[in-house]
Amino acid sequence: MQKISSLLIVILFIPALLSCRQSQSNQSKTNSNAKLEVLYFHVTERCPACLSIENNTKKVLDDNFKTQMDNGIIKFTSYNIEEKTNKSLVEKYQISYLTLLIIKSDGTKTDFTNTAFQYADAKPAKFEELLKAEIDKNLK
């Protein structure tokens, strides 16, 4: 009987421990030493505009901030908001749909989503110009 009780306790606590570890893992994703984090949140099914936002964001970072990316000063991460492993970040930033955030190490965040939707697909050069300027401003 005591073995069964011990086994039940272990079985009941394993999911709680795994959930805790998963939450800590997600939190560590955004607790980096980067001076600036660019976070892109998306859903599983993505339209051309959604894909364009991610692709053009990567292009801006690669073309203009490669050294900072390589040195860990800027960090880019893309998250699927429908994946359970990203739940804590989705809740932390109150994400409900596609979102592009620029977050400084002091926690200051810039929501670049509206600009991204307005320009990334229709006027990519304008999007790249505006995103580069916003990243430059946030690096100061």
Q: Give the torsion sign (CA, 70, 26, 15, 43).
A: negative
Number of domains making up the chain: 1
Q: Among 5-19, 47-61, 73-87, 122-136, which is the least confidently predicted range?
A: 5-19
CATH number at residue 39: 3.40.30.10
CB-CB contact of 101 with 116 (8 Å):
no
Residue pLDDT, tens place only, 74-117? 999 999 999 999 999 999 999 999 999 999 999 999 999 999 99
- The span from the CA of 64 to the CA of 114, in Å, is 22
Domain carrying residue 98: 2-139
Q: What whole-number distance in Å separates Cα of residue 118 and Cα of residue 100?
A: 12
Residue 63: pLDDT band by 50, 70, 90 thresholds?
Answer: very high
Residue 90 makes CB contacts below 8 A (sequence gap 6+) with: 41, 79, 81
pTM (2 decimals)? Answer: 0.76
From the list 53, 71, 68, 49, the residue with the least C-alpha distance to 135 is 68
